[in-house]
């Protein structure tokens, strides 16, 4: 109610009320009416003693193109009631920012999505206009996957999630990725619920790794493991698949809690392992292609989806410690033999050497026991020599078969690797893959040759080669045979059993008491010869009761022997 004739007190009250209104308006958002538009400025009456001017561009912004006219009521931020020109200082940008902050804080506290427009690119990301408030969108939060071209996303209103707000610093961080992930999670959940194990669907290969491929099933990805792509061995999924390829797959497993889906392609084809035992019987031979080589063997593809393993021990008869890659090569066509079939474990054991002749059998047929062979010394060991033979096999000469007379430990030093030697085949063990050879047997047994007609009981002349305390070392005349006459065999008379009465080089007659060709030993005795001569003399010239003395009998026997020699 207006005062007609205001007193001094009324005027003071009105002035005080005016100042209170001014304090209330400054620093806050107020409503004003556009009273005029001058070029690029809008003249706004906010109900105070003066008017204010705001640039028209402040009423526009990303995604907003407003056409203002006189009489429109707008909200502006009152910075000052009156400046030096006597006008109110107004700002539409600050008003909008203030409004937006209040509204955004409410939405942030309620975890609600906000709408914004990407309008500029900055270091590390982009700026987003949230209806007056400017927020930062990190590049990692633009999309679920890295986006190379953000052009189509700019200047278009779209939902964002506020991650962080700091009004004091004026910082707002938003994410578009969070909104997309939430939307995708809802879609995934709905899609997973509609999928069933055994279901056949189509999908698009989205990504390929060493262990398989990820297939987009229309909003959710499924893993197609490399072992489920085909029945045959696949070293890498790129051998069969390519990114963007449409494939027909079967749902193998679905985890409704983790939303993990396992897919398979080979399940859409017939299992080649069905009836495998009848198709590949043991001991049968087939041709195949080497698909993979490892330290322990090589895999051979018999047909698409069917592979067998040639273990390294079944690759060669003779090459025992060689890497499989030095025997076969990848993609090589080979003939193999079926050794074992396990349809439960889906394993087939193959043999490569079984398709070739056994070199020990071939050697045994070509060189029977007693045959003379020639080969190169491949190796020397503490127990003999290894000789390389035909068929890439080795034979062993034991130390005891190197020489007839000398110890093998001494003789083996005379041989070196690379020497060509001749040997006799002593034995061939095909199962154990062993060939026994003898070098000393090549020239025959000198003991047998030198023995001639020697036999037990024969009288031989011996040449003394050494005199020892225990007896005499002698060599049989006209031969290389040696023997040893023990002290007790030196004479029938105990008093004459003295080795020192003999000398090296002296020749004596002795009787053979033992002749063992197998053990290659001959034993001689002077005592035995004396006893035999005595018995012979007694039988020829007299008897124990004839009255003749032993001296007479022996004397007559010796005289008869001398006469016969003369």
Indicate left, alpha or beta for 416 from its phi (over 0: left) and psi (-120 to 50: alpha): beta
What residue spans define the domains of the chain? 28-94, 111-181, 195-268, 280-353, 359-444, 452-550
User: Which DSSP string corresponds to 79-115?
Assistant: EES--TTS-BEEEHHHHHHHHHHHHHHHHHHTT-EEE
Taking residue 331's Cβ as centre, other Cβ atoms within 10 Å add up to 9
User: What DSSP letter does each residue of 278-314 carry, written as one string?
Assistant: HHS-TT-EEEEEEEEEETTEEEEEEETTEEEEEEGGG
What is the reported pLDDT for 558? 58
- Point out the residues of the chain with pLDDT beneath 50: 1-3, 15-24, 63, 84, 544, 546-547
**Cβ-proximal residues to 491 (8 Å cutoff; 6+ apart), any chain:** 497, 526, 527, 530
Decide yes or no: CATH 2.40.50.140 for domain 359-444.
yes
Concatenated DSSP letters of 21-77: HHHHHTTEEEEEEEEEEETTEEEEE-SSSSEEEEEGGGG-BTTB-----TT-EEEEE
Q: What is the three-class DSSP state of 463?
A: strand
**144 token code pair:** 């679920």
- Report yes or no: 434 and 468 within 8 Å, Cβ to Cβ: no
Enumerate the β-bridge partners of residue 248: 202
Q: Which fold has domain 111-181?
A: OB fold (Dihydrolipoamide Acetyltransferase, E2P) (2.40.50)
What CATH number belongs to 195-268? 2.40.50.140
pLDDT at 226: 92
CATH of domain 28-94: 2.40.50.140
| pLDDT, position 79 | 62
pLDDT of residue 556: 58
Identify the pLDDT of residue 21. 43
**Architecture of the 280-353 domain:** Beta Barrel (2.40)
Strand order through the sheet with 507-516: 482-486, 471-476, 459-468, 507-516, 521-525
Beta bridge partners of 476: 462
Structure tokens, 448: 């047998």
* Cα–Cα distance for residue pair 534/547, rounded to 1 Å: 17
d(CA 10, CA 285): 123
Contact assessment for residue 425 and residue 368, using Cβ atoms and an 8 Å cutoff? yes
**CATH code for the structural domain at 452-550:** 2.40.50.140
Q: Name the nearest CA neighbour of 439 among 411, 410, 403.
A: 403
Topology agreement, domain 195-268 and domain 280-353: yes
What mean pLDDT is reported for the chain?
A: 81
């Amino acid at each position: 109610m207006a005062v007609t004739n205001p007193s001094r007190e009324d005027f003071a009250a009105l002035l005080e009320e005016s100042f209170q209104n001014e304090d209330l308006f400054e620093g806050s958002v107020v409503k004003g009416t556009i009273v005029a538009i001058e070029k690029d400025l809008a003249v706004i009456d906010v109900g105070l003693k003066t008017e204010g001017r705001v640039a028209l561009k402040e009423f526009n912004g990303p995604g907003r193109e407003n056409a203002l006219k006189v009489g429109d009521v707008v909200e502006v931020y009152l910075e000052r009631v009156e400046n030096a020109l006597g006008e109110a200082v107004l700002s539409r940008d600050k008003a909008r920012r203030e409004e937006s902050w209040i509204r955004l804080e409410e939405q942030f506290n309620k975890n609600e999505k906000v709408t914004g427009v990407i309008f500029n690119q900055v270091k590390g990301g982009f700026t987003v206009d949230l209806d007056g408030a400017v927020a930062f969108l990190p590049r990692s939060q633009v999309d679920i996957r890295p986006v190379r071209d953000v052009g189509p996303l700019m200047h278009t209103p779209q939902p964002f999630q506020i991650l962080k707000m700091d009004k004091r610093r004026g910082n707002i961080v938003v994410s578009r990725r969070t909104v997309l992930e939430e939307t995708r999670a809802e879609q995934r959940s709905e899609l997973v619920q509609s999928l069933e194990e055994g279901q056949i669907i189509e999908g698009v290969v989205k990504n390929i790794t060493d262990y398989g491929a990820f297939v987009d099933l229309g909003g959710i990805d499924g893993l197609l493991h490399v072992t489920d792509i085909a029945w045959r061995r696949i070293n890498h999924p790129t051998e069969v698949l390519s990114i963007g390829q449409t494939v027909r797959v079967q749902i193998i497993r679905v985890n409704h809690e983790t939303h993990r889906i396992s897919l398979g392609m080979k399940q859409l084809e017939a299992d080649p392992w069905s009836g495998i035992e009848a198709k590949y019987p043991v001991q049968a031979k087939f041709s195949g292609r080497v698909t993979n080589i490892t330290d322990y063997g090589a895999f051979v593809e018999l047909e698409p989806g069917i592979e067998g393993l040639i273990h390294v021990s079944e690759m060669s008869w003779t090459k025992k410690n060689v890497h499989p890659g030095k025997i076969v090569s990848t993609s090589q066509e080979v003939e193999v033999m079926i050794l074992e079939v396990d349809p439960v474990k889906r394993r087939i054991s193959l043999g490569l050497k079984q398709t070739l002749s056994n070199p020990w059998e071939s050697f045994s047929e070509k060189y029977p026991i007693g045959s003379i062979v020639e080969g190169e010394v491949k190796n020397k060991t503490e127990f003999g020599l290894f000789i390389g033979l035909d068929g890439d096999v080795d034979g062993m000469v034991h130390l005891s078969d190197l020489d007839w007379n000398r110890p093998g430990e001494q003789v083996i030093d005379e041989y070196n690797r690379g020497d060509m030697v001749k040997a006799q085949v002593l034995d061939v063990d095909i199962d154990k893959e062993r060939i026994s050879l003898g070098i000393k047997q090549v020239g025959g047994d000198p003991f047998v040759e030198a023995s001639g007609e020697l036999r037990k009981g024969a009288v031989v002349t011996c040449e003394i080669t050494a005199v020892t305390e225990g007896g005499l070392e002698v060599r049989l005349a006209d031969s290389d045979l040696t023997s040893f006459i023990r002290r007790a065999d030196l004479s029938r008379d105990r008093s004459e059993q003295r080795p020192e009465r003999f000398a090296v080089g002296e020749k004596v007659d002795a009787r053979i008491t033992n002749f063992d060709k197998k053990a290659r030993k001959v034993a001689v005795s002077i005592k035995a010869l004396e006893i035999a001569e005595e018995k012979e003399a007694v039988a020829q010239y007299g008897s124990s009761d004839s009255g003749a003395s032993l001296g007479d009998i022996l004397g007559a026997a010796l005289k008869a022997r001398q006469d016969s020699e003369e």
